[in-house]
Amino acid sequence: MSLSIEVKKIEQVMILELAGRVSVLQPQLKQVVERFFEAGERYFVINLANVSYMDNSGLGQLCLIYTLIKNSGGELKLLKPTPRIQSLMSITKLDTVFESFESEAEAPQSMPLLTAAASA
Q: Does domain 4-119 have CATH number 3.30.750.24?
A: yes
Category of 101 on φ-ψ map: left (φ > 0), alpha (ψ -120 to 50) or beta: beta
pLDDT tens string for the chain (120 positions)? 689 999 999 889 999 999 999 987 778 898 999 999 999 999 999 999 999 999 888 999 999 999 999 999 999 999 999 999 999 999 999 999 999 999 988 888 888 765 444 444
Per-residue model confidence (pLDDT) at position 25:
77
Tell me which residue of 69, 61, 73, 75 sits closest to 108, measured CA to CA: 75
Task: Give the per-residue pLDDT at 23.
Answer: 87
The pLDDT assigned to 1 comes to 63
pLDDT of 110: 84
pLDDT of the residue at 120: 45
Q: Residues 29, 1: contact at Cβ < 8 Å? A: no
Residues 89, 13, 105, 113, CA torsion sign? positive
pLDDT for res 8: 95
Quickly list H helices, 1-120.
Answer: 28-38, 56-70, 83-91, 106-109, 112-119
Any idea where the domains of the chain sit in the sequence?
A: 4-119
CB neighbours of residue 34 within 10 Å: 13
What is the structure's pLDDT at 3?
Answer: 92
Residues pairing with 44 in the sheet: 14, 76
pLDDT of residue 105: 84
Angle in degrees, 0-180, between the axes of helices 28-38 and 56-70, rounded to the nearest 10: 10
